[in-house]
Structure 1
Amino acid sequence: MSFARTDHHVPAPLVSTAAGTLLLVDLLRVWLPSIITIFGQAASTPAELMGAFALLWFLVPFAVVPFAARWGSGRHAAKAALAGGAGLAAARFALVFVHGGQAQLYVASIGLLAGLSWLAATAVRGGPAAVGVPVGLAAGALQHAALRTVDLTWQSRWWAAPLVAAECLVFIWYQRRTAPGRTSAAAWFLVGPAMLLAGMFALSPAIATVALSYRFDPVATTPPPAVPELLLGLAVVGFLAGATGPLRGRFERVAAALTIVAAAVIFGLSHGPGGLFVALLLGCGALGWAFRAAAADTPPEPDAGRNARSGYAALAGMLVFAVAAVAYYAAYDLGYPNQWVPVAVALAPAWILLRSGTGVPATGVPWRTGLAAVAVCLLVPLIGATTTPPVERSDATGAAGADRGLRLVAYNIRMGFGLDGTFRPAAAARAIAASDPDVVVLSEVDRAWVLNGGHDDLRTLATRLGMRYWFAPAADAVWGDAVLTNLPVAAAETVRLSAVGAPTGAQALGVVVRFGGREIAVVSTHIQPPPDAEPLVQVGEIAAFATRFGGDRPTFIAGDLNIEPGDAAMRAFADAGYTDGFAAFRPVRTFPADKPVKQIDHVLVRGLTCAEVSVGTAVTSDHAPIVTTLR
């Protein structure tokens, strides 16, 4: 940041733009997973229909621009911005109380429509997008980090509703005081691409955690406390420094453009250690520079002729957000390469940087304001270290634990979302902790997907359970399977499985634990069957890996195998030496969670037996958790 020795009042347009951006980002964190879990019904709705429904809410606000730009007086734009802002604030506050089902979906959708209308009308009226939007994105990232990626919508604390209400009141108060001003079409267009890139890697608290949980091994482990929050704080400082600092020569602009594209390329190709860390560090500052370059597009005086163009630019940028998000995440259902999507989106800020023909001076942030901002960026994320108490539990890992057998919970958590589309990590943690497990095997673990709200499911559950974790990526670097335990761990290894026509990637994660004086090999996996065929290739790879990794140790394979008793795949496991641990306890139905009719979650054993089996009643996923004791 560039500090100046002057001081002044913070302009109302900056506060209203920043607050509106914060509310819109928070609302998108509810709306996006609602599309998948409620409208999409966990991929049972055709991807094309989901995409059309989602895009509809981004297209309708284009009708607001002609009204807001009418006559160029700013009066209609002010009315449209205030009405849209009121709708955005009302929906954001309502979502603290409206959880699950069609009500959640449509409150979030109407709020999105209102928020996009506010964005377009504000662009028409004119405002400091090149500074206000970065401040709003930074505030959203810091708040997300302070809440350990569990948004205020999903918090069960008493202070969640008052805090959202305060954010909404600040937004509306300053919105009413905002007067027409200069407008930058480039800055408003950048809002959508910046939201997506910031959520994917440049300002993502979950990415900061995942990046630091890898060391020199493809298996991720629990990072040191508070270090990810500090990394996120430094990323936000770099982002704001880029957005407010000087951007002088052509060389700086070209370097910034190449940096943001390089960050997107590295993120798209990352599937393990190193890449996410580099993408975060490169992306944060370069994205800020793009906003600074967009300031060069701002005329010295308000220009009525540019107003409609800015409104359309803002909505076009958000349409880029929607299309790119659908294109990136639909690949895991439809099966096409998606690494190009973040790179294509990064071309937008790169283009803005390259087209800026003149140098842009620093904004001259007062030095006291700059120091305060740096302190906030570094301290606010650390709040999360003290606001998420673990669930009370007892670890039966001594002699008594060995006598009772090893307690295992296997659970496909569906990215943390229940059948009704709500995100309830505390309830999921309670359901797991009730069984007092020694080992927890998780499938469909999402650690940073924008589509699901940017949550880090694994860290949230591990913190609440008071357990350490080992994670291996499957679809990309932040979606896969995990093992949680407080037992001593002697080794960990992962192997990728062949796709064989299945769109979503798969892996097998092996962890050796010490229990009762001996070592036991745990293999966590989530089979992705090829279309209309048995997953015999993946079964063979899992069995071979488990046999090699387990050696002469007792070994079990657990997870969502997407096969049923009697299938050829189950017989293939038996032929490889892994017997069905639940054979004596059937029926053991696990799917769907509310009324289970199928058993597709399994525990297969070699050198062990299942002494007891039970199916949990939690509906915090579409699968029910299964609990067994291994002897």
Structure 2
Amino acid sequence: MKYVRLLLTVAAVGLLLLAATPWVDRIDPAWLPPVQSLGRAWIALAVVGLVLSLLTRAWLALGANVVVIAVALVTILNVSNRPGCEPGEERLAVMALNAKYGHADVAQLADAVERHDIDVLVVTEVDEAMIAALVATEPGRRFAHRSAQTVEGGSPAGTVILSRYPATRVDVPEGDAVTFQQPAMSVDVDGRSVLVRGVHPQPPVPRSLDHWREGLLELGEWQRAQRGRPLVMAGDFNASSAHAPFRDAKRGMYDTAGLWPTATWPLQRSYPPFADIDHVLVRGLSVEDAGTEEIDHSDHRAVWADLRVCPR
């Protein structure tokens, strides 16, 4: 029994080191960013460790597992400041979906747009064929305004913003990081201008780690330069609050996902989704409701938020 307790203690300490990785602001070794996103897995393993520790009276292991759960929760819980303004009358419902190379089910997406009465839709990994199919549906016909042309077929690069409100394209500075398309539009919401940015940085895989980190930091610099006007950043950030560059990108903004964000990726696997990497971030807008939707043939959940523009 002595060796069992020792083994449980060593395992709990190792688990604690893994759970603490989100506080390491590095991109090397290359396995670090993926491991940082596994907070839900560390909690599940720590719960198992707690039970085994109680059964074997391994008190040091029990204490370490309690700390693992607390540390992992800090990286998952959405504790950013909720917008404090009273809701205005101007409504803006936003949805974002990674369409997985344009393969997402258009009929299901159109149904979700109609059910949530979406005003602005941000679609990443999309092509012109999918956009044409969407706007041909009855719910899709509301989107009379859009960002610029996207890519043709089978690429993760394409991102489009669709709006039912009048909207004009906004130029964004070209940073040093290589990213997928990340357009911006100024949307006229019943006389109030709201800036919307579609987001899709490179993923945190070995060949693009530098661009992933730099892309998120550039988003943070860009959004802080837009202070003084209502702002929405929505899309596939390829990052969660477990990643220091994402925490910088969203500083001063509110993640509409709520206290316990729903994991949005990956779907269609033999294991459940474990990372909340799709976000609707806002500033200068209040949040009435928010949630997620599963769309067939996409490996991401769509995220949506029902917003009100804050009074001036």
Shorter-chain TM-score range:
0.5 to 0.7
Paired letter, 2:124: S
Whether 2:104 is the aligned partner of 1:430: answer: no
Which of 158, 164, 167 is residue 486 of structure 1 equivalent to?
164
TM-superposed deviation, 1:510: 0.9
**Alignment correspondent of 1:442:** 123
SS at match of 1:445: coil
Aligned ranges for residues 391-410 of structure 1 at < 5 Å? 403=89, 405-410=91-96
Partners of 2:204 and 2:238 within 8 A in 1: no
**Alignment correspondent of 1:48:** none
CA deviations 1:514-552 (Å, max 9, x no partner) are 11431110000211135344733111222333444x452
Paired letter, 1:555: L
Is there any run of 5+ residues in structure 2 with no aligned partner, and where? 1-86
Paired letter, 2:254: T
Measure the CA separation in 2 of the matches of 1:559 and 1:586: 18
**Alignment correspondent of 2:220:** 543
Paired letter, 1:518: R
Measure the CA separation in 1 of the matches of 2:260 and 2:149: 31
**Alignment correspondent of 1:609:** 286
TM-superposed deviation, 1:460: 1.8
Which of 130, 139, 159 is residue 457 of structure 1 equivalent to?
130
Paired letter, 2:130: D
Measure the CA separation in 1 of the matches of 2:99 and 2:237: 14
TM-superposed deviation, 1:560: 0.2
SS at match of 1:604: strand
Whether 2:237 is the aligned partner of 1:561: answer: yes
Whether 2:205 is the aligned partner of 1:528: answer: no
Which of 97, 100, 110 is residue 411 of structure 1 equivalent to?
97
Whether 2:295 is the aligned partner of 1:622: answer: no
Aligned ranges for residues 304-343 of structure 1 at < 5 Å? none
Partners of 1:410 and 1:626 within 8 A in 2: yes
SS at match of 2:198: strand
TM-superposed deviation, 1:616: 0.8
Paired letter, 2:230: P
TM-score, normalising length: structure 1? 0.31
Whether 2:147 is the aligned partner of 1:470: answer: yes
CA RMSD of aligned residues (A): 3.0
Whether 2:180 is the aligned partner of 1:506: answer: yes
Measure the CA separation in 1 of the matches of 2:242 and 2:107: 36
Aligned ranges for residues 189-200 of structure 1 at < 5 Å? none
CA deviations 1:334-383 (Å, max 9, x no partner) are xxxxxxxxxxxxxxxxxxxxxxxxxxxxxxxxxxxxxxxxxxxxxxxxxx
Paired letter, 1:615: T
TM-superposed deviation, 1:628: 0.8
**Alignment correspondent of 1:578:** 253
Structure (1/2) with the larger helix percentage: 1
Which of 191, 214, 218 is residue 517 of structure 1 equivalent to?
191
Measure the CA separation in 2 of the matches of 1:459 and 1:489: 19
Change (3 A) 1:480 1:488: same
Partners of 2:126 and 2:151 within 8 A in 1: no
TM-superposed deviation, 1:593: 3.5
Partners of 2:256 and 2:305 within 8 A in 1: no
Measure the CA separation in 1 of the matches of 2:205 and 2:300: 21
Measure the CA separation in 1 of the matches of 2:267 and 2:161: 21
Change (3 A) 1:461 1:496: farther
Change (3 A) 1:623 1:530: closer
TM-superposed deviation, 1:497: 4.9
Measure the CA separation in 2 of the matches of 1:593 and 1:432: 20
Measure the CA separation in 2 of the matches of 1:524 and 1:585: 23
CA deviations 1:477-498 (Å, max 9, x no partner) are x841111111011443345454
Partners of 1:407 and 1:437 within 8 A in 2: yes
Change (3 A) 1:531 1:598: closer
SS at match of 2:125: strand
Change (3 A) 1:578 1:536: farther
Change (3 A) 1:425 1:486: same
**Alignment correspondent of 1:197:** none
**Alignment correspondent of 2:60:** none
Measure the CA separation in 2 of the matches of 1:475 and 1:529: 21
TM-superposed deviation, 1:459: 2.0
Structure (1/2) with the larger strand percentage: 2
Partners of 1:513 and 1:521 within 8 A in 2: yes
TM-superposed deviation, 1:457: 1.3
TM-superposed deviation, 1:431: 2.8
Change (3 A) 1:404 1:607: closer
Measure the CA separation in 2 of the matches of 1:511 and 1:411: 17
**Alignment correspondent of 1:190:** none
Partners of 2:95 and 2:305 within 8 A in 1: yes
**Alignment correspondent of 1:86:** none
TM-superposed deviation, 1:586: 1.5
Change (3 A) 1:538 1:472: farther
Change (3 A) 1:564 1:551: closer
TM-superposed deviation, 1:613: 1.4
Paired letter, 1:508: Q
Higher CA-based Rg: 1
Which of 592, 603, 628 is residue 266 of structure 2 equivalent to?
592
Partners of 1:492 and 1:510 within 8 A in 2: yes
Change (3 A) 1:491 1:414: same
Aligned sequence identity (%): 28
Measure the CA separation in 2 of the matches of 1:552 and 1:587: 27
Aligned ranges for residues 132-211 of structure 1 at < 5 Å? none
Paired letter, 1:486: R
TM-superposed deviation, 1:568: 0.4
TM-superposed deviation, 1:585: 3.5
TM-superposed deviation, 1:474: 7.6
